[in-house]
Structure 1
Amino acid sequence: MSKEMERRQAGASPSVFAWQSTADIVQLEVDDLDNETEESLIARGAAYTREVVRIENASTVLKKNAAVVLIAIRKRLGDWRGESYEYRERVNEMYRMAGVPNTPRGDDLKASVRYHVGNGLRRYLTPRELRHLGLKAESPLERQQDTRATAAAIVRATKTVAQAELPPARASEGKKPSGQAKRRPKGEVDVSTVAAASVSQQIKASADQLRLMEVAAGLVGHLSLSTIDLNMTDGQRAKLDEHLAAIESKVRSVRRHLKKRSSGA
Structure 2
Amino acid sequence: MIAEPGSLKAMAPRSPEEELAVQATAILAEYVRTPTTDLLKKLAPVIVELRSHHRLNDGSVDWSGRSPAYRKIIAEIYRDAHVSDDGLDRLQTALRYHVGNVLRERAPSNDLQRAGLTDVSPRERTTTSRQAFQAMKEASAPRQDIPRLTAYAQALLEYVDEAAACDLTAKENEAARIALQSVQSRAAELLVRLRDAGRNTPTRK
Same fold (TM over 0.5): yes
Shift of 1:221: 5.1
Shift of 1:249: 6.8
Please name the residue that 2:123 is paired with. 141
Distance in 1, Cα, partners of 2:23 & 2:73:
12
Q: 1:246 to 1:223 in 2, by over 3 A?
A: farther
Distance in 2, Cα, partners of 1:100 & 1:247:
56
Please tell me the root mean square deviation across aligned C-alpha atoms, in Å: 3.5
Q: 1:123 to 1:243 in 2, by over 3 A?
A: farther
- 1:52 and 2:2 are equivalent in the alignment: no
**Which of structure 1's runs of 4+ aligned residues deviate more than 3 A?**
215-225, 230-234, 242-250
Please name the residue that 2:19 is paired with. 40
Q: Which has the larger radius of gyration?
A: 1
Shift of 1:146: 2.2
Contact 1:41 1:69 (8 Å CA) reproduced = yes
Q: 1:106 to 1:129 in 2, by over 3 A?
A: closer
Distance in 1, Cα, partners of 2:38 & 2:193:
44
**2:39 partner letter:** L
Q: 1:68 aligns with which of 17, 23, 45?
A: 45
Contact 2:17 2:50 (8 Å CA) reproduced = yes
Contact 1:49 1:98 (8 Å CA) reproduced = yes
Shift of 1:222: 5.4
Higher relative contact order (CA 8 A, sep 6+): 2
Q: 1:245 to 1:90 in 2, by over 3 A?
A: same
Please name the residue that 2:113 is paired with. 131
Distance in 2, Cα, partners of 1:120 & 1:47:
19
Shift of 1:243: 5.3
Please name the residue that 1:240 is paired with. 190
Q: 1:221 to 1:107 in 2, by over 3 A?
A: closer
Deviations 1:194-247 (A, max 9, x none): xxxxxxxxxxxxxxxxxx9xx87655555649x59x985442331231454477
Q: Where does structure 1 lack aligned partners over 5 or more consecutive residues?
A: 1-15, 17-34, 162-211, 260-265
Distance in 2, Cα, partners of 1:157 & 1:247:
26
Distance in 2, Cα, partners of 1:156 & 1:247:
29
Q: Where does structure 2 lack aligned partners over 5 or more consecutive residues?
A: 6-13, 56-61, 163-176
- TM-score, reference length from structure 1: 0.51
